Structure 1
Amino acid sequence: MPFARLATATTPTCHIGLGLAAVGRPGYINLGREEDLGEDRSVDALRTRTHELLDAAYAQGVRYIDVARSYGRSEEFLAGWLDARPDAAAEVVVGSKWGYTYTAGWSADADTHEVKDHGVRTYDRQRAESAELLGAHLDLYQIHSVTPDSPALTDKELHARLAEAAAGGLTVGFSTSGPAQADAVRAALAVTVDGEPLFRTVQSTYNVLETSAGPALAEAHDAGLTVIVKEGMANGRLAAPHAPDALRAVAEEAGAGCDAVALAVVLRQPWAGVVLSGAATLTQLASNLHAAAVDLDEDRLARLAALAEEPHAYWERRGSLPWH
């Protein structure tokens, strides 16, 4: 079973993972980065911040860490932390992604921050880069942001490469983005090599504003895939300064932060195996981890369900968020 080590965790946060997209590079699309990161976004400053977050997350029971080739130096930062903490390295499950190349050159103002390519040559190059940094620490390797028209769904040479990696002990998965996530999930579920399903995990965006992938993720779970949920905070749109009034009201009633309530909704989904926190500060992390204890009755859930947006509108809004 993928992520079998997670099943041995006994803390209430065993189903919450930590994603390093927001701290592995100086520029990202999350709201509130000026307050979260401040002016010092040097490599050393973000390495230190990343290690502090990893220390705190591990101490509170988090055992899944999410990185990607396109998240700046996230793999490098994580590798340094794992090498310095062999006891933690023995327990933590590491997932990374390939398919986007980071091109911003450590600038928050670059014209282009990442370039997408799902071809075999990019896989070979990035697989070697991830292996050099993470080595045996890497448990899961995912295709980054598959859409229904992605060549990764039909490229037999790529499928053979991925099957070879799986035969060597690496779990192979995919992530999705865009308004047609459900279609991408279902198309990926149909990909086989020698009659066997290729993918063992799926990572998709799901939150109270974007719920359209839910039925397909339930199908993936029923098919035996581990489901990882990303962007449960909608890139900061569900954090207290920006949260809709209904979310603020429920949070006040529940005695929790807007972020904890938003993540609690995702944790309640029976198909959600790992729900990612994208915290950039220790305060955010502590509040995110409180999601496991939030009480949501049917009335509160119904009020939050009414916040769901039409998928194309949601993704158009996400696409308009500036890198900063």
Structure 2
Amino acid sequence: MPFSRLAAATTPTAHLGLGLAAVGRPGYINLGRDGDLPAERTVDALRERTHELLDAAYAQGVRYVDVARSYGRSEEFLADWLKARPDAADVIVGSKWGYTYTAGWSADAEQHEVKDHGLATYERQRGETDALLGDRLDLYQIHSVTPDSPALTDKELHARLAEAAAQGLTVGFSTSGPAQADAIRAALAVTVDGEPLFRTVQSTYNALETSAGPALAEAHDAGLTVIVKEGMANGRLAAPHAPDMLRAVAEETSLGCDAVALAWILRQPWAGVVLSGAATVAQLCSNLHAPAVDLDVDQLTRLATLAEDPHAYWERRGQLPWH
């Protein structure tokens, strides 16, 4: 598995990754994003911002980059950067299929993406990803699996994914929604010829949404690499939106709320890679202080009290506006 390279890495930030959801398209739901990006969100402007982030992340030891077909032109921006940076051969690239980007480079579109976990969508999007990333693609994940996803029961799709795995591609899945734990456990049961199909799981987990934790621990124990997304709860855990408890702990550590929030996730024994979704280099640099945050038992316990009911959390997330 390509993630063995991360396990062997010695840099403090090796287990932090960079996700490009916030900079691969003009519209996204992160709080504060309207002030984080250039007023004119042209393709060239966001390509430049993406490359600035990638340069900064690589210089600080980050070696995992997360993109998706539905993240606008994120795959294209990453592919351009990889071609210009032959020294970055050790970067591990993960992408996702299952959502089609439909916003037409507009932040005001009625519909930004359409979900379809069918075999035809996989074949189409796999071709599109290969055309951009080619043999630089290490991991391909089903995007946002839920318990009712047909991707969990489609044997023909499973066979095609197993074929890709046999050719050297790591196959994984991501989850979203209040039933993430159910989706994870259902995916762990998917096998092809008696062998587990999936080698990675990427789920939302943060101080406000902890419901997937036990299932992620089970996935880790089963040998999967766990990737954590939305560690900042789409900006709800970043200043100036952070809860008072998080602010208090951050003040005690003399570091930012974001670094503390990500450090709390890094303390989970099953967390393999924790993604930064930074939209600016300053945000990224602050996020990358997370490995240096030393949280004591009392601070960890206090932060654990921030957890919300998962249904309430996902309902609020669904109401966040696209900026």
Whether the aligned pair in 1 keeps the contact of 2:38 and 2:45 (CA below 8 Å) is no
Structure 1 match to 2:163: 164
Which residue is 1:143 aligned to?
142
Partner residue in 2 for 1:75? 75
User: 2:212 & 2:2 partners in 1: Cα distance?
Assistant: 21
| Moved >4 Å (runs of 4+) | none
CA distance in 2, matches of 1:220, 1:144: 17
Q: Indicate the residue corresponding to 1:305 in structure 2.
A: 304
2:11 partner SS: coil
Structure 1 distance, partners of 2:152, 2:7, is 30
Which letter does structure 2 place at the counterpart of 1:62?
Answer: V
Output the amino acid matched with 1:286: C
- 2:208 pairs with 1:209: yes
CA distance in 2, matches of 1:40, 1:94: 28
Kept in 2, the 8 Å contact 1:9–1:61? The answer is no
CA contact (8 A) 1:2 1:226 kept: no
User: What is the identity, as a one-letter code, of the residue corresponding to 2:266?
Assistant: L
Task: Give, in whole Å, the separation in 1 of the partners of 2:207 and 2:222.
Answer: 24
CA distance in 1 between counterparts of 2:187 and 2:91 reads 27
2:321 & 2:161 partners in 1: Cα distance?
A: 34
Deviation of 1:8 (Å): 3.0
Partner of 1:189: 188
Q: Look up the match of 2:261.
A: 262
Contact 1:23 1:49 (C-alpha < 8 Å) held by counterparts: yes
- Distance across 2 between alignment mates of 1:215 and 1:296: 21
Match of 2:236 in 1: 237
The Cα shift of 1:86 comes to 1.0
Cα distance in structure 2, aligned partners of 1:87 and 1:8? 19
Deviations 1:37-74 (A, max 9, x none): 13121000000000000000000000000000000000
The answer on whether the counterparts of 2:2 and 2:92 sit within 8 Å (CA) in structure 1 is no
Counterpart Cα distance in 1 of 2:256 and 2:290: 9
User: What do residues 180-232 of structure 1 show as CA deviations (whole Å, max 9, x unaligned)?
Assistant: 00000000000000000000000000000000000000000000000000000
CA contact (8 A) 1:201 1:228 kept: yes
Write the distance in 2 (CA, Å) between the matches of 1:2 and 1:234: 27
TM-score by length of 1: 0.99
Which deviations, in whole Å up to 9, do the C-alpha atoms of 1:84-104 show, x marking residues without a partner?
Answer: 11110x100000000000000
Shift of residue 15 of structure 1? Answer: 0.2
When the two structures are aligned, how many residues end up with a matched partner? 323
Contact 1:25 1:71 in 2 (8 A): yes
Shift, 1:24, TM fit = 0.2
Partners of 1:39 and 1:2 in 2: how far apart? 38
Query: Per-residue deviation at 1:240?
Result: 0.6
Q: Are 1:47 and 2:15 matched, yes or no?
A: no
**Aligned residue type for 2:191:** T
Which residue in the other structure is 1:61 paired with? 61
Quick check: 1:20 aligned with 2:20?
yes
RMSD: 0.6
Match of 1:128 in 2: 127
Contact 1:200 1:225 in 2 (8 A): yes
% identical aligned pairs: 86
The 8 Å contact of residues 176 and 184 in structure 1, kept in 2 or not, is answered as yes
Counterpart residue identity of residue 82, structure 2? L
